[in-house]
């Protein structure tokens, strides 16, 4: 006879007896399975789709502030290139970050931190990454600056004031002059806080010539997730680059 055919009291008694037979270990087993599945899903999301970073410096102010949390898209760049104006997160191409020695941690604490970072629940590796805005794409001829202080890309000037943070009374996009052609599979990147950013301009003598190889890019920054008051999408300001022609 099915449960639906049993009297209501008898059906409840049957369920209670089944629960007692499972005992506490049945509950523990179910809990472990749920936790393992949650960790696996989190690991897959962090590895292939999205991951979180925090902002360790003021080089992207006021677009991104120190201690902001951001969500980075790692998936879509596999089928489309990064574009001018987009904010990317990347690992040090060589010589961009100062050599630092992290304070010693007890092995168990270090192990937990590494595990949480691996599954995307911690952002301990944010200090090993940089966040900048893409200005030059492969093949672009990027020059600073024209007579009114604007960067030109393939001969076309761009007006970046919509996102730049500059000292009062200053309008030049850079105090450092440069004239570069971006190589294949690389990008020329600058911080929005243009006078306080150690970006491509500061590493012209580095092994990669100030360019960021595509292989070093972790993903495209999409969203500010913390603090709550600053939650929102990150703008690529494509209108700034709309008049830039394709590289010759």
Give yes or no: 224 in active site: no
Residue 120 · residue 53 · CB < 8 Å: no
Tally of CA atoms within 13 A in the half-sphere of 68 that contains its CB:
26
User: Closest Cα to residue 221, out of 83, 110, 15?
Assistant: 83
For 166, the token pair is 């500059």
Report the 10 Å Cβ neighbour count for 136: 27
List all residues 6 or more positions away from 137 whose beta carbon is below 8 Å from its beta carbon.
81, 82, 83, 84, 182, 187, 247
Q: Which domains does the chain have, with CATH numbers?
A: 52-113+126-241 (2.10.109.10)
Distance CA 69, CA 50 (A): 13
Distance CA 64, CA 221 (A): 11
- Distances 158 to 112, 113, 132, 192, 210 between C-alpha atoms, Å: 46, 43, 17, 14, 20
Catalytic residue among 59, 126, 197, 236: 59
**One pLDDT digit (tens) per residue for the chain, 248 residues:** 444 454 555 566 666 565 555 566 766 776 666 766 665 655 555 555 778 888 989 999 999 999 999 999 888 777 778 999 999 999 999 989 886 645 555 666 545 555 455 544 444 555 688 999 999 999 999 999 999 999 999 999 999 999 999 999 899 999 999 999 999 999 999 999 999 999 999 999 999 999 999 999 999 999 999 899 999 999 999 999 999 999 98
Catalytic residue among 132, 174, 224, 236: 132
Give yes or no: 200 in active site: no
């Amino acid at each position: 006879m099915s449960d639906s055919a049993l009297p209501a009291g008898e059906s409840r008694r049957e369920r209670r007896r089944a629960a007692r037979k499972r005992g506490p270990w049945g509950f523990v087993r179910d809990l472990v399975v749920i936790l393992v599945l949650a960790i696996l899903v989190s690991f897959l999301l962090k590895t292939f789709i999205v991951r979180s970073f925090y902002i360790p410096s003021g080089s992207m102010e006021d677009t991104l502030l120190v201690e902001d949390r951001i969500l980075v898209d790692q998936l879509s760049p596999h089928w489309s290139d990064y574009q001018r104006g987009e904010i990317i997160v990347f690992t040090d191409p060589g010589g961009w970050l100062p050599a630092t020695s992290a304070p010693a941690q007890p092995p168990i604490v270090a192990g937990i931190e590494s595990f949480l970072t691996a599954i995307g629940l911690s952002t301990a590796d944010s200090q090993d990454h940089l966040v900048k805005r893409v200005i030059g794409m492969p093949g672009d001829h990027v020059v600073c600056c024209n007579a009114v202080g604007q960067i030109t890309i393939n001969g076309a000037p761009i007006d970046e004031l919509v996102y730049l943070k500059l000292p009062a009374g200053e309008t030049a996009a850079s105090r450092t002059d440069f004239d570069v052609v971006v190589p294949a599979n690389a990008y020329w990147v600058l911080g929005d806080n243009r006078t306080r950013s150690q970006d491509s301009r500061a590493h012209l003598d580095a092994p990669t010539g100030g360019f960021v190889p595509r292989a070093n890019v972790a993903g495209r920054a999409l969203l500010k997730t913390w603090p709550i008051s600053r939650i929102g999408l990150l703008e690529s300001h494509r209108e700034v680059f709309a008049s830039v022609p394709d590289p010759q």
